[in-house]
Structure 1
Amino acid sequence: MSKGRIALIVSAVVLAVLMALLPKVIINKDKGGLATDGVAANRDQPAHDPNHPGHEDHAEEPAAPKDAHAAASPAQLKKIAELRVKFNQESNPQAKVKVADDLAKEYIALARHDSAGYYYEQAAQVRPGEKSFQKAADQYFEAFTFAATQERSQALGNKAQVLYEQVLKNNPANLDAKTNLAMTFISSSNPMKGITLLREVIATDPKNEKALFNLGVLSMQSNQYDKAVDRFRELLVVNPAHVDGTFYLGVALAETGKKQEAQKAFLRVKELSKEPEVQASVDSYLEKLKSAN
């Protein structure tokens, strides 16, 4: 599962409500995990990340730590403040890269991924290359997946796009970067570009878990449940222990009227994950399927 210990927490017990909760953007950052959906784990992100200023064009640094991280410990705030002073005063480009890297790590520890992206981007400008651009892109992408507003999502998605395109210029075969780039387009004004990129990933690597998963959920969003079933089944051939893929297979099967198969999928989820939230969620769906018989 993904970094955030994704729990399939669903407040409703009917499949129709699950469909209403499906996201406008489904992103699977790691093999086996969701990033943004109605059942994803809460990252305790604020509705508006106060690190926002300056991230669209980098005309200025992120907000000062005392304003940005009310939940941070005094030691963390002190370290960030010291590193920011050092970063601003450092004249040696290579030394400044090291400070930027340290700052980015501090912000990652606080789940302030846009700020981490900002500093990784500063480092990439000094040391451009596939890996440095991807470090920055991945952090903006992480922030993008938790954006609370469409405006915020667009701004962070645009930043990630520019950087992922740099990654792909350096290495067109980087399928992870291409998949994440695709998902930034799905919620943009050009969603078909995202679909095209995902299909390119599948054409290159038919067993790519992230692409299969995202195509499956996107099929659900467009009410193409038969296609979703096919995608999730392909995914489970590649990774039979994919918890989220198994869960959504159950949902898609139920939507196509295959209740017995859906029940088997949900029972499999219970075998794969012993997290209480997952167990409770699946029990709710199993009870609904039972009452519908």
Structure 2
Amino acid sequence: MSKGRVALILSAVVLAVLMALLPKVIINKDKKGEFAANGAAAPAAQPDHDPNHEGHEDHATETKPAAPADAHVMATPAQLKEIADLRIKFNQAGAGQGKSKLAEELAVKYAAIAKHDSAGYFYEQVAQVRPGEKSFQKAADEYFEAFTFAATQERSQELGAKAQGLYEQVLKNNPTNLEAKTNLAMTYISSSTPMKGVTLLREVIAADPKNEKALFNMGLLSIQSTQYEKAVDRFRELLAVNPNHIEGTFYLGVALAETGKKVEAQKSFMKVKEISKNPEVQASVDSYLEKLKSAN
């Protein structure tokens, strides 16, 4: 995760905490538990994804970034031309390995300009020709990335459902794939069946007690359910594994503050300032520290 994205997220989180509201859904996307906030309802049955739907056509011509956190990603005219040319070849190609190769090239090109839903679609085409754990996971990961940035509830439902279906395929091929299981868990957390996600996260931690991403998400879920003591325990477990986990340190401070341990909370926030020199992160933590002082 880029420093700018961390700053953006922390700023949003601080504002939410100050208003006594945390994001309804916390989605994590990498092994270290770095996060984005996203709210979604239960995914409904999804229609087939059409490569020529309006969104994908936009992706061949649009130069604006896909999401605020990807604001540093800007498609160049050369990139857009490559994509447009590849799309023509893809649409004209017959079924088989040749079309699959073009789909893979398109997926890589779309991922490079942060069009993760389109990347997911084309990786999914590859997986249909060459099914297997790795090919399904490539498609699932791209849909999951898009899911974390979904701007609307409807889009969250659609992308979450696509990621779920593909992660289920990954786990059919390899039930011990903890990365896939953790991401799958987070799509369920944001649905009407959140306990299914919690169960999956517990399975991950049982298999790997030091899994940073699962520990981080369990800590966040404890905060969301106002189980602050449990949150403190989870974040301390996480920091025992990775003492410099920025978001884990920040949320430990939040949980400590909620349990009335303001001195310890301040220490956690000060540590965030030590391990992250990003000016926006520093400003966010300073804002929270000021609120703690004024509450004394």
**Same-fold call, TM > 0.5?**
yes
- SS of the residue corresponding to residue 235 of structure 1 reads helix
Structural RMSD (CA): 2.1
- Corresponding letter in the other structure for 1:58: H
- Deviation string, structure 1 residues 29-54 (Cα, Å, up to 9, x no partner): 1133433228xxxxxxxxxxxxxxxx
What is aligned with 2:249?
246
Task: Confirm whether residue 287 of structure 1 aligns to residue 278 of structure 2.
Answer: no
- Corresponding letter in the other structure for 1:64: E
Give the structure-2-normalised TM-score.
Answer: 0.87
Distance 1:138 1:3, change over 3 A: farther
CA contact (8 A) 1:2 1:34 kept: no
Distance 1:68 1:57, change over 3 A: farther
Task: Confirm whether residue 177 of structure 1 aligns to residue 180 of structure 2.
Answer: yes
Distance 1:92 1:140, change over 3 A: same
Determine the C-alpha separation between the residues in 2 that align with 1:34 and 1:24: 17
Larger relative contact order (Cα-Cα within 8 Å, sequence gap ≥ 6): 2
- Deviation string, structure 1 residues 149-188 (Cα, Å, up to 9, x no partner): 2111111111001100000000000000000000001111
What is aligned with 1:24?
24
Task: Confirm whether residue 272 of structure 1 aligns to residue 295 of structure 2.
Answer: no
Extract unaligned runs of 5+ from structure 2: 39-45, 65-74
What is aligned with 1:36?
36
- Deviation string, structure 1 residues 185-205 (Cα, Å, up to 9, x no partner): 111121111111111111111
Task: Confirm whether residue 58 of structure 1 aligns to residue 61 of structure 2.
Answer: no
Distance 1:292 1:13, change over 3 A: farther
What is aligned with 1:9?
11
Determine the C-alpha separation between the residues in 2 that align with 1:2 and 1:70: 20
What is aligned with 1:83?
86
Distance 1:185 1:15, change over 3 A: closer
When structure 1 is superposed on structure 2, of 70-79 and 200-209 the one drifting more is: 70-79
Q: CA deviation at 1:13?
A: 6.4
Determine the C-alpha separation between the residues in 2 that align with 1:262 and 1:109: 39
CA contact (8 A) 2:178 2:204 kept: yes
Aligned positions, number: 275
Identity over aligned pairs, percent: 72
Task: Confirm whether residue 150 of structure 1 aligns to residue 141 of structure 2.
Answer: no
Greater fraction helix: 2
Determine the C-alpha separation between the residues in 2 that align with 1:291 and 1:180: 38
Extract unaligned runs of 5+ from structure 1: 39-54
Q: CA deviation at 1:64?
A: 1.6
What is aligned with 1:209?
212
